[in-house]
Amino acid sequence: MNKILLFASLFLVSFSVNAQKIYATKNGQIVFNATGGIEKIVAVNNQVDSKFVDATGQIIFGVLIKGFKFENQLMEDHFNENYMESTQFPKADFKGYIKNIKEVDLTKDGNYNINLEGTLTIHGTGQKVATTGVLQVQQGKTAITGEFSVKIKDYGIKGLYIGEKIASEAKIKVNCKYQN
């Protein structure tokens, strides 16, 4: 009898361990905006790789710099060669946690405000960041959106016009729809 109880409880424990779920997408979107003057400096990347785990709130976003498309080819070339040096530093990522994941009910529709903390690495330089976002659950589909600013010079990015035609703080807009 005791053995049966032991097995039954082990069985239940193994269930609760397996209950964590990974949400992932390979086609998230990031919009970069560093417009400082009249000329629009905006680029879009539609190949954002992101995953998060519901049990721990651990989250990662990865993006390739050469995947950012500008309207103006010359701007794109300068972005890659003179500023981001994307041959040397091909990717940027954020690794961290959704601190208040326990407040999110992923089985219930709604918009949940989330707090993110972690390390943002751009141009080979990592910086601790904290930001907020919205986790949306709608008919079983999960999405995370957020917007934050990065000080370009914090990431060792040099080059002309920063603080003039190029804003000293770039706006980064994230929109990831996860496949369950």
Partner 1 sequence: MKIKNIIIFLIIILLAAGSVYYYVFIYAKTHHRNIQSEQGIAIIADSLSAQYQNNEQAANAKFLNKAIIVKGQLINITQNQQGQTTLLLGNANSFSNVSITLSKNISLTQKPGDSILIKGLCTGFLSDVIITEATIQ
Phi, psi of 102 (to 5 degrees): -65, -25
C-beta of residue 24 within 8 angstroms of C-beta of residue 51 = yes
Phi, psi of 5 (to 5 degrees): -60, -45
| One-letter amino acid of 143 | A
Nearer to partner 1, 100 or 136 (CB): 136
Question: What's the rounded Cα separation, in Å, for the pair 61 and 59?
Answer: 7
Q: Give yes or no for residue 99 binding partner 1 (CB under 8 A).
A: no
Q: Give yes or no for residue 58 binding partner 1 (CB under 8 A).
A: no
Nearer to partner 1, 58 or 72 (CB): 72
Q: Give yes or no for residue 175 binding partner 1 (CB under 8 A).
A: yes
Q: Which of 35, 53, 54, 90 binds partner 1 (CB under 8 A)?
A: 90
Nearer to partner 1, 14 or 27 (CB): 27
- Judged by CB under 8 A, which stretch of 4-12, 42-50, 107-115, 149-157 contacts partner 1? 42-50
Question: What's the rounded Cα separation, in Å, for the pair 119 and 127?
Answer: 5
Nearer to partner 1, 19 or 38 (CB): 38
Q: Give yes or no for residue 29 binding partner 1 (CB under 8 A).
A: yes
Q: Give yes or no for residue 64 binding partner 1 (CB under 8 A).
A: yes
Question: In whole angstroms, how close is the CB of 121 to partner 1 at the nearest point?
Answer: 13
The DSSP output letter for 85 is: -
Q: Give yes or no for residue 36 binding partner 1 (CB under 8 A).
A: no
Bridge partners (DSSP) of residue 59 are: 52, 96
b/e map 29-60, b = 16+ CB within 10 Å: bbbbbbebeeeebbbebeebbbbbbbeebbbe
Question: In whole angstroms, how close is the CB of 75 to partner 1 at the nearest point?
Answer: 7
Which residues of the shown chain bind partner 1 in the complex (CB under 8 A)? 26-29, 39, 44, 46-47, 49, 62-67, 69, 71-75, 86-87, 90-91, 175, 177, 179
